[in-house]
Every structure is written in structure tokens, then in C-alpha cells.
Amino acid sequence: MDSDLNNLDSLRITSLDDDEGDEDAIEMDDDDDDGDDEAEDEVAGGGVTLGFVEKPKNPHSLLRQFFPSKAGGVPAWLDPLNLPWGKFRTCGFCGEPLLFLLQIYASLPEKESTFHRILYVFMCPSMSCLLKDQHEQWKRDGENSCRSVKVFRCQLPRSNPFYSFDPPKHNGRNEPLTAGAELCCWCGTWVGDKICSNCRRARYCSEKHQSMHWRSGHKNDCRRLANPSEASVPILGNAACRTLWPEYEIENEDECLSDYEHSEDTSSATSLVPVQNKTDEAFQSLSDKFAADNDKENFASFQQRIAKAPEQVLRYCRDLAAKPLWPLSIGRPTKADIPRCNYCKGPRSYEFQIMPQLLYYFGVRNDPDSLDWGTIVVYTCSGSCDSSVSYKEEFAWVQLYPTCAMP
Ligand SMILES: [Zn+2]
Ligand SMILES: [Zn+2]
Ligand SMILES: [Zn+2]
Ligand SMILES: [Zn+2]
């Protein structure tokens, strides 16, 4: 057993080939909390891992065999074959294929079946769909509600058909054991189950992506691809579209609480703690969103908590007693608003939340109809149950700013 655990550590640090790798995989914090001090958690925190985006240092590091945590670009599918299908991959309102937001590698090594475990978040980039989604999330019927934000959980035991038992070497030569499903030529995200009837080579997840690809150049390439003498012409690379969000690697760091307490002494509720130049803009744009907000008191404590690490795009804590950090006091779910797991019917618990700073890094503009949120909180099956479905849908709660919520 001991040697297994050692291997486990080495697996977790394989996302990088240098010694900083320790911080690369999100790990579960095994606090001894028995849950008695639930009410204090929100204030005292503890055991929160923060996620920050960085341009990938190494182009290979985001490939699926390295089990990356990443934002934007295309997903690195853990199970590369049995991807979410049909209505799971489209917006419940406009019917368009969803856009990949981020994924985090959140292994739960105490259980064999969750040795590898990745949580994926997708959303429709339309703000009007997100506003409709607001009404649906209160419906307490997880399985049948329409959503524009979807979360999937995929997990694999250490012995599985897709990846080697031992950690991959970070030199790009380490290939996954199997090829993945053929993906849409346009979005590079979803299975390309529709095929161009002319060249019979280009694949798409949807008619929309087919027509977008056609207009942006496949019209010309198609004839060439259809010619048998040019069978060796490489099929256009996946993800030809320019509408994916920019790709980042997610780096992790433990939240530093002592600094946080220090900040409590030195900053007032309304003043910004000075931050490095680089972060000014991100943080300022976040603060601006609250300028017209009368929920100042709650925001002050929210602001204080994130001010020490204003670039954070993610907060992760698998401790069952942990609570998310809400920017607003209104629009929070009660326990009863979180639907039970669709698969085992067990309870779901908070696992991580996505901060609006991510939109800044994605270059989403601050226009009235641009995509915007206060926080996206993800709840997952507390038992991280197994089922024959590879990508198990989990539950996201989106808290919007009051100004967004107006019709
Ligand atoms: Zn939509
Ligand atoms: Zn597509
Ligand atoms: Zn074609
Ligand atoms: Zn479950």
C-alpha cells in the first residue's frame, strides 16, 4: 500500500517536468473537520485551493494523457470515447453546442474508481440564455431542467483502457493507449457524428458548426479532400473555429489565510488593497461590477477574502463542510435547492466555484449584454458514485449580479 501511495504522489506531479509540479494537480484537503463548525467555515475558511490561469508553458502539458487542469480551448477528455451526447452537449435554451469553460483534475485516491477524476464545465456564451437559466436552476428537478451551464464528472480507476498504469513522462512522447473519438472539425470539443456528405471526411457535432466551417473555408477544401488521389491530404485540424475561449493552464496554490487576516487589519471595506500592476485591471473590473450594488456588506467580506489573491479564477475545497464564498447575499441556494445525484440519488456537496475574473482572462467585454456572473458554484455527488455513464452530469448554481438579473 505504501508504495502505491508513493506512486500516487508521483502521478500527481507529472503535469510538469520540473520540481514545481507539486502544486499542479488539485488535491483533496483531508481536514479532520467533523462538520460541527460549519457556520465558521465561510469566515475562517481553511483548506481552500485557489486556481490561477497561466499560458501553458509546454504545448504538451494540456494533452489528456497528462490529466490537465485547464480553461478555454478544447477539453482534454479523460474518457476519450464515450463523450457527452445529444442534449447533454447543447444549451437547453438556444440549442447551440456548449462552449468549454474549464476542467479540473480532482483525483479522489481513497477510492479505486476515482483514481483519475476530472470535472468539466461547459456553458452557452449567450447572456440571454444565462438569464433564462437563472429561473431553471431553482426548479429542484436536476434531471429534467434546461440549463445553459453544464458540469460533467468523469472518473477512471488507475487500471483502465485509456492510460498507462504508471505516470506519463512529460516529454510529449508518451501517447495515450487509445485514440479518441473523432471530434467536430469546427469546435474540436464534441463528437463529430455528422459527416460532410461531399468529402466524407470532415465531421461535425452539429449542422451549425458544419455551415460555419463551410463558410470559413471548407467550401474550398472540400473538393480537394473528396478527391481520392488526395487522400493523404490531412484533414483540417480540429478546432478551426475562432470562437473558443483562449486556452490556459490552471495552476493551483493553497489560499493563504494568515495574509488574509492581515488584510483585515489594513484594508477598509471600501478601499482596494493595492495589488500588483498586472492584477489591477482584473480586480478593478470586478470591483466595478459592484459599484451599483447595494449588497455592500456581503461584498466587502467577499472582496476582502479575495483581495490577497485577486487573480484567482477558481476556489476548490472538497471538505464536505466547506461552503462557497458568495459575492452577494441574495440568490443563494438552500440545501433543498441542490438536487440529489441523478445516478445514486445521494446528496451533492459543494466542491468548487468559478470566479468572474475568468471572464477577464477570456477577453469577454464588459458590455451590458456580455456574458457575466458573480460566481458559478459546482456541487458534485458526495460519494462521487460510479455508473455506466462516463460523463455524469453534476449541478451548477450561478449567482448573477442584480443588474444582470433585470429584464
Ligand atoms: Zn444558449
Ligand atoms: Zn462542433
Ligand atoms: Zn467536405
Ligand atoms: Zn452519485
**Would you state the cell numbers that stand for residue 150, as one nine-digit string?**
453544464
From the CA of 233, how far away is ligand 2's center (Å)? 21
Q: How many domains does the chain have?
A: 2
Please give the distance, rounded to the nearest whole angstrom, from the Cα atom of residue 41 to the centre of ligand 2: 41
Please determine, for residue 28, whether its predicted confidence score (pLDDT) is greater than 80. no
Q: How many residues are present in the chain?
A: 407
Instruction: Answer for the pair 15, 67: CB distance below 8 angstroms, yes or no.
Output: yes
In degrees to the nearest 10, what's the CA dihedral of 48, 54, 59, 62? 30
**Could you tell me if residue 24 is inside a domain?**
yes
Distance 235 CA to ligand 3 centre (A): 10
CA 326, CA 305: separation in Å to the nearest integer? 11
Query: For residue range 294-346, what is the model confidence (pLDDT) as tens digits?
Result: 567 788 888 889 998 999 999 999 988 899 999 998 889 999 999 999 999 99
Q: How far is the CA of 195 from the centre of ligand 3 (A)?
A: 8
Do 183 and 218 lie in one domain? The reply is no
**Average pLDDT of the residues in 257-266:** 48
Task: Say how many Å lie between the CA of residue 194 and the centre of ligand 1.
Answer: 21
Asked if the model's pLDDT at residue 19 lies above 80, the reply is: no
- 149 and 24 in a common domain: yes
Same domain, residue pair 201 and 253: no
Q: How many CB atoms lie within 10 A of CB 136?
A: 16
Distance 260 CA to ligand 1 centre (A): 38
Residue 404: predicted pLDDT: 55
Q: How far is the CA of 80 from the centre of ligand 2 (A)?
A: 16
Angle of CA points 5, 10, 11, to nearest 5°: 95
The Cα 304–Cα 42 span in angstroms is: 13
52 lies in the same domain as 183: yes
Q: Is the model's pLDDT at 230 over the cut of 60?
A: yes
Asked whether residue 123 falls in the same domain as residue 249, the answer is yes
The pTM assigned to this predicted structure is 0.81
Compute the distance from residue 78 Cα to the ligand 3 centre, in Å. Answer: 29
Q: Is residue 285 part of a domain?
A: no
Domain that holds residue 28: 2-187+244-258+312-399
Q: Stretch 6-16: mean pLDDT, rounded?
A: 35
Residue 217 DSSP one-character state: I
pLDDT at 113 over 80: yes
Say how many Å lie between the CA of residue 53 and the centre of ligand 4: 30
Does 241 score more than 60 pLDDT? Answer: yes
User: Cβ–Cβ contacts within 10 Å for residue 395, how many?
Assistant: 24
Report which bound ligand comes closest to the CA of 208. 2
Distance 218 CA to ligand 3 centre (A): 6
How would residue 236 be classed by pLDDT, with cut points 50, 70 and 90? Answer: low
Q: Which of 322, 398, 349, 336 is nearest to 48 (CA)?
A: 322
Q: Of 180-184, 236-240, 291-295, where does the model show the most confidence?
A: 180-184
Name the H helices within 88-140: 127-136
What pLDDT sits at residue 10? 33
**Predicted local confidence at residue 332, as pLDDT:** 92
Q: Decide if 136 is inside a domain.
A: yes
Find the 8 Cα to ligand 1 centroid distance in Å: 40
Task: Decide the pairing of beta strands 99-105 and 348-354.
Answer: unpaired
Closest ligand by atom to 227 CA:
3
pLDDT at 186: 92
